């Protein structure tokens, strides 16, 4: 009997083997969405727990990686919906930074705040497409939607970001790429 079939039947050794194989991938995917290692770690544990609890729903001829990614994406989306956009306090500079560095840091913080204010579905699509540069097909698979829907979400997110950045006094052209941490 193959590993996925044994897992679907509830064999704990099969589950442990799958955890060892996919835990790192699940963590990396979740981190791409939530952008916080501590939260990603917690959500990875929750994802693994939900995978185990839903093992009877898994089709052994299916794609385990895609199924696990879908579960982790849904958990990350739930997390993003629950949390409020946070106002991050700037770190105290060690020395007196150059005016350009201050401006760049301030711009980066404003862009990050604008991203956090996006609705969760738009934030996930925009983060994965614009920041992580993931293929639309992979994002669509993880979100359980079509490539067209992902493109629409990214388009809407960019439109909202431009409007928010304009209200903050920033020109949006080229600024979205500065979101990377």
Residue 52 has a pLDDT of 93
Instruction: List Cα–Cα distances, 127 to 29, 85, 101, 124, 136, in angstroms.
Output: 11, 15, 24, 5, 12
How is the chain split into domains, by residue range? Answer: 3-82, 99-179
Q: Are 26 and 48 in contact (CB under 8 A)?
A: yes
* Distance (Å, whole) CA 106 – CA 100: 10
Query: Which class in CATH covers the domain with range 99-179?
Result: mainly alpha
Which has the higher per-residue pLDDT, 51 or 104? Answer: 51
Instruction: Give per-residue pLDDT as tens, 75-131.
Output: 999 998 888 655 443 444 445 556 677 777 887 888 888 888 889 899 999 989 988
Q: Residue 52: name the closest of 65, 68, 41 by CA.
A: 68
Instruction: Give per-residue pLDDT as tens, 124-169.
Output: 999 899 888 889 999 998 888 999 999 999 999 999 988 888 877 7
Residue 83 has a pLDDT of 81
Residue 178 has a pLDDT of 44
Q: Give ∠ CA 100-104-110 in degrees, rounded to 5.
A: 145
pTM of the model: 0.67
Which of the listed CATH numbers 1.10.1740.10, 3.40.50.1000, 3.30.457.10, 1.10.760.10 matches domain 3-82?
Answer: 1.10.1740.10
């Amino acid at each position: 009997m193959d590993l996925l079939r044994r897992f679907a039947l509830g064999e704990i050794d099969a589950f442990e083997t799958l955890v060892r194989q996919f835990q790192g991938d699940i963590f990396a995917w979740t981190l791409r969405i939530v952008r916080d290692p501590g939260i990603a770690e917690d959500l990875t544990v929750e994802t693994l727990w939900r995978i185990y609890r839903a093992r009877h729903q898994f089709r052994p001829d299916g794609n385990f990686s895609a199924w696990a990614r879908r579960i982790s994406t849904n958990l990350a989306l739930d997390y993003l919906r629950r949390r409020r956009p946070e106002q991050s306090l700037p770190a105290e500079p060690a020395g007196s930074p150059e005016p350009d560095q201050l401006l760049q840091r301030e711009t980066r913080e404003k862009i990050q705040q604008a991203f956090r204010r996006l609705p969760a579905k738009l934030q996930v699509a925009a983060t994965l497409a614009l920041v992580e540069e993931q293929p639309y097909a992979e994002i669509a698979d993880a979100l359980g939607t079509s490539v067209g829907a992902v493109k629409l979400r990214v388009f809407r997110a960019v439109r909202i970001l431009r409007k928010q950045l304009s209200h903050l006094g920033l020109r949006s052209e080229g600024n979205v790429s500065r979101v990377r941490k």
